[in-house]
Amino acid sequence: MDPAAPAREAGVSDDPRASIESIITPLPTPENGVPVPDLALARQRIDSIDDRILDLLAERAEVVGAVRRAKQASGAPALDPEREKALLERLLERGAGRFPKPAILAVFREILSGCVSLQARVTVAYLGPQGTYSHAAARALFGYAPQYIEEATIDGVFESVRRGRAVYGVVPIENSTEGSVAGAIDALIEGGCRIRRELVLPIKHCLLSNVESLSEVRRVYSHPQALAQCRKYLANNLPQAQIVHTASTALAVREAGGDASGAAIGSSLAGEIMGVPVLREGIQDIAFNATRFVMIGKDDAKPTGRDRTTFTFIIADETERGALRRTLGVLEDNGVNMTRIESRPSRDRAWRYVFVIDVEGHREDENVAAALAALETRVQALTVLGSYPRYPDAEKK
């Protein structure tokens, strides 16, 4: 048996394998004289460790009760994404090489999710149905405990948060292959919600089907964007299949589940939810395919030292030559690094634009505050859409 297999099955993709190997090796063989451990005894020990973990969780829940009372006194919200981020980062560092990193994240994600639910009922709207990539992003951000509200459109997610039906929402705003999600940017510009946090999820498209081999597939269902991201794969591997468009990848998986010669392009999460097996994984044409999602809400994020600020403005006089260049110069003058710019139609007058800017730093950071104050005097309708912690992996890519 490959000694690294258990670690791989546990989802260890990068570094911790070596030290985990050292825990599980050397394996006993008839030649090496390594004693065979007693399985029943090992399981007894596991049971007693599990009891201790549970006792510790109960103790943690008691402390969270105190946190809840402290927060109620000050009016602070139950969920604190900055605290969660710091807590998870600390634990990942502490656990490095001792336990698989994705498992540390998953375990503590759910502990936090459960502890938030002990304090308040958290409602989260996302672009549904269940099994979409937005659903996966929402679960990565909030875990299993919140009450999830499926919305059929991105506008629906924003409306849910604006009207207080949901405390938070999760929407995609940018894809590394397809670019900006215009509907989400426009809804942010419309107002009433702030960006609270960002998350970059690698999008690994799967081919899901009840058939056992590719040659049996007659129809491939999916959302046009997912199909476009797997165009070459389809041409090379499924030239015989008819393409059927669906409103979402999750709905595609549902369709494929009911079609004896059908397959869908979607997430493994959709397959899990709808009971359709994954036939092939990672079939997107460009290996690095990622979507940036944002958590939206009404409250504001505190500075963490590694933040991003998104704001919008309209150039006061768009006929003035060099106006945009001079306006953006204000950022450089204040030592602020701009990471993204795009424009959307202002919708109040033809050929007038709202510029959407991302910069590094929090609006309370001295340089960002100074830049925003200087911009205020130059532009129209300067609006900060949020200052929020930067997703660490977004910087490496």
Binding-site residue ranges for substrate: 43, 60, 71, 80, 84, 115, 119
Quick check: 295 binds ligand PRE (CB under 6 A)? Answer: no
Give dist(CA 308, CA 362) in Å, integer: 6
Catalytic annotation on 339?
no
Residues 136 and 248: beta-carbon distance below 8 Å: no
Residues 112-151 close enough to bind ligand PRE by CB under 6 A: 112, 115-116, 119
Determine which one of 291, 309, 312, 327 is catalytic: 291
DSSP 164: T
Q: How far is the CB of 114 from ligand PRE (least distance, A)?
A: 8
Residues 181 and 344: beta-carbon distance below 8 Å: no
Residues 102 and 11: beta-carbon distance below 8 Å: yes
Q: How far is the CB of 365 from ligand PRE (least distance, A)?
A: 23
Query: Judged by CB under 6 A, how many residues of this single chain contact ligand PRE?
Result: 11
Residues 97-116 close enough to bind ligand PRE by CB under 6 A: 112, 115-116
Q: How far is the CB of 60 from ligand PRE (least distance, A)?
A: 7
Measure Cα distances from 158 to 84, 123, 138, 151, 236 in Å: 24, 13, 14, 9, 40
DSSP states of 240-267: TPEEEE-SSHHHHHHHHHT-TTEEEEE-
* Residue of 360, 118, 322, 152 lying closest to 248 (CA atoms): 152
Nearer to ligand PRE, 79 or 314 (CB): 79
Residue that the structure tokens 């979402």 belong to:
248
DSSP 377: T
Strand 307-315 versus strand 379-389 pairing type: antiparallel
Give dist(CA 290, CA 229) in Å, integer: 11
Give dist(CA 130, CA 270) in Å, integer: 7
Nearer to ligand PRE, 84 or 150 (CB): 84
Site string for ligand PRE, 361-390 (x = CB under 6 A): ------------------------------
Nearer to ligand PRE, 70 or 96 (CB): 70
Determine which one of 99, 158, 293, 311 is catalytic: 293
Nearer to ligand PRE, 109 or 223 (CB): 109
Q: How far is the CB of 299 from ligand PRE (least distance, A)?
A: 12
Comparing every residue's Cβ against ligand PRE, the nearest one is 115
Catalytic annotation on 291?
yes
Nearer to ligand PRE, 87 or 92 (CB): 87
Measure Cα distances from 176 to 75, 132, 391 in Å: 39, 17, 15
DSSP 192: S
Site string for ligand PRE, 64-103 (x = CB under 6 A): x--x-----------xx--xx--x----------------
Would you please indicate which residues are annotated as catalytic (active-site) residues? 291, 293
Contacts with ligand PRE, residue ranges (CB under 6 A): 64, 67, 79-80, 83-84, 87, 112, 115-116, 119
